[in-house]
Structure 1
Amino acid sequence: MKVVLDTNVIVSGVLTAHGVCAQILDMLTEGVFGIYVDDRVLAEYDSVLRRPRLHLISNDAAEVMEWIRSIAEHVGAVPLPAELPDPEDLPFLEVAASAGAILVTGNARHYPKRSRGGVMVLSPREFLELLRRSP
């Protein structure tokens, strides 16, 4: 299964050891699904993980980024004509569309149905339910 994880899922999974997003990261580690990125997505992950308010030591942020780079599939995203409430969310949608992946986000409202370009957008909980139903 191909997946693009929005930054909020990565951050929440790193900061909370037992939440839904942490379970998703555990399943990613186990190879239950593959994560897809491009340079813009990686830059967003890195930028947010290094924000002082997250209280991550820079070594921890670097380790998370190294881990993601080691397991992620890098794709060349094709631009979409989508209009999103936050244009900075567009790279995630473009990578998901280019990879034929599911986009998992805690902010589904940032991806209006009319702008999704056929990409399935799920909340972390919906994604876990999908994984549990899959053989």
Structure 2
Amino acid sequence: MTPRRIVLDTNVCLDLFVFGDPRCAALRDALDRGVVAAVTREDCRDEWLAVLEYARLGLDDAARETGRALYDRYVTPFVAIDAVPALPRCGDPDDQKFLELAATAGAKVLFSRDAELLRLSRRTSRDHGFAVVTPETWGSPHASL
């Protein structure tokens, strides 16, 4: 079975790879079992590395290294060969890259907690073939992901 391609925004990566948020347990299990395959691109990974350095997170060197290693273990670089389609504009321009990645990588889902991204899910599902949902949606019995 071919894994479903997904995109993880930075906050979801924090939940998965640094804080071990139990709301992400089903998604983490899907990553472990190869049911889903997370992809990234250079600017998304750069944001991840920068966020790991934020003092307000209170991460020590070991936590940052673990976060980097888990990200690199579970998230594969993707290089788009197609032009970025006309996508809805995210209210937070810094998050537009995640929409672009999901569209160009053929992802089925963009996992996020960002209200600006989540607000666009109906349009991205209808017009671009991917949903924007919270990570706990993966484990929901009503989810059609």
- Give the shorter-chain TM-score range: 0.7 to 0.9
Gaps of 5+ in 1: none
Contact 2:41 2:78 survives alignment (8 Å) = yes
Aligned-partner Cα distance in 1 for 2:48–2:142 = 24
1:110 and 2:117 matched: yes
Aligned residue in 2 for 1:128: 139
Q: Which moved more, 1:2-11 or 1:101-110?
A: 101-110
Q: Which moved more, 1:74-83 or 1:55-64?
A: 74-83
TM-score by length of 1: 0.79
Aligned-partner Cα distance in 1 for 2:77–2:61 = 24
Aligned residue in 2 for 1:53: 56
Aligned-partner Cα distance in 2 for 1:29–1:52 = 30
TM-score by length of 2: 0.75
Residue 72 of structure 1, CA deviation: 2.3
Q: Provide runs of 4+ in structure 1 moved above 4 Å.
A: 130-134
Aligned residue in 2 for 1:29: 32
Residue 133 of structure 1, CA deviation: 6.8
Identity %: 26
Q: Which moved more, 1:112-121 or 1:61-70?
A: 112-121
Of 92, 97, 100, the residue aligned with 2:103 is 97
Q: Which moved more, 1:39-48 or 1:13-22?
A: 13-22
Aligned residue in 2 for 1:79: 84
Gaps of 5+ in 2: none
SS in 1 for 2:35: coil
Q: 1:130 to 1:106 in 2, by over 3 A?
A: farther
SS in 2 for 1:79: coil
Counterpart residue type for residue 65 of structure 1: R
SS in 2 for 1:36: strand
Counterpart residue type for residue 4 of structure 1: V
Residue 46 of structure 1, CA deviation: 1.2
Aligned length: 134
Q: 1:24 to 1:114 in 2, by over 3 A?
A: closer
Aligned-partner Cα distance in 2 for 1:40–1:131 = 33
Q: 1:32 to 1:114 in 2, by over 3 A?
A: closer
For residues 106-130 of structure 1, give each alpha carbon's deviation from its aligned partner in whole angstroms, at most 9, with x where no partner exists. Answer: 1243352476351311111212227
